[in-house]
Amino acid sequence: MFKLFLIFVSFLYLEASFIKEGVEAFKNKNYKKAVKLFFLSCEKNNPIGCYNLALCYAKGLGVKKDILSYGYFMKKACDNDLKNACFDLGILYEEKLNNKNKAKEYYKKACLLEDKDACFNLANLLENDDLFQAIKIYKVLCKFNYSSACVSLGVIYLEKLHKNRESIFFYDKACKLGNKDGCYNLGLIYFKNKDYSNALKYFSKGCLVYSDGESCFNVGAIYFIRNNNKKAFDFFKKSCDLDYEEGCKYLKKLNKK
């Protein structure tokens, strides 16, 4: 992934000879030459050069692996409005340096540069201290079919705001967008309300379309409740085949009958 992404971003700046030559050197595994060329490009405030150089420091290719140098050159790229760099800095501060405030700062900048993943991560960090701002961001993302944001809205409306109707709406949209968590969570709402027909509908989609082992298990559980042991067996087996442990346990129980 590192190599491919490095080449991909460079295509935006083929007119910059240092970048072009650096990518060729990188492709030929001449990492020290690549680092030198990316450094020269970065000195000219080319954000792609700074970004590629940062990635070399992250992986220890052509230079000694160094998180401080990675952060320094990634910041130079972000300061020149490269959204990928701002997003990666957010990841660095959130996951490696445990600095949520700095992570928010860089996610926000990347979000303003129209990086949807950064917007999502920003909303996720905002949930604990500014829930309604997080909802606002999630709603924009969900409107533009970012399915994980729709799932997050479903969770918030169900667990924090206790509004089932809104939760069902967002889970349903996520499911229709191909998000298996949306299908599973919606199936779970119906299952808990003993609306097994609707639960079966959404668990079946999660199982048969998205190969989700837990959804398959729940389909089996519904058929088991309905005393249809043959179908229950089939879905417990499918769940087990998808490495869901509970499916394997219930499969053994049915085999003993």
Cα distance between residue 86 and residue 254, in whole Å: 53
pLDDT at 3 over 60: no
Q: Which of 4-8, 19-23, 158-162 has the lowest mean pLDDT?
A: 4-8
Tell whether 170 is covered by a domain.
no
pTM: 0.86
Boundary residue ending a domain (64, 80, 96) = 80
Boundary residue ending a domain (80, 111, 129) = 80
Query: Helices in 193-244 by DSSP H: which ranges?
Result: 196-208, 213-225, 229-241
Residue-wise pLDDT for 111-161, tens only, equals 999 999 999 999 999 999 999 999 999 999 999 999 999 999 999 999 999
pLDDT at 13 over 70: no
Tell whether 1 is covered by a domain.
yes
- 197-233 as b/e: b if 16+ CB within 10 A: eebbbbbbbbbeebebbbbbbbbbbbbbeeeeeeebb
Instruction: Provide the domain limits for residue 194.
Output: 181-257
Q: What's the full length of the chain, in residues?
A: 257
What is the torsional sign of CA 236, 237, 243, 246?
A: positive
Q: Residue 12's pLDDT band (boundaries 50, 70, 90)?
A: very low
Residue-wise pLDDT for 54-89, tens only, equals 999 999 999 999 999 999 999 999 999 999 999 999
Dig out the tokens for 98 from the structure.
Answer: 């445990």
Boundary residue ending a domain (32, 47, 80) = 80
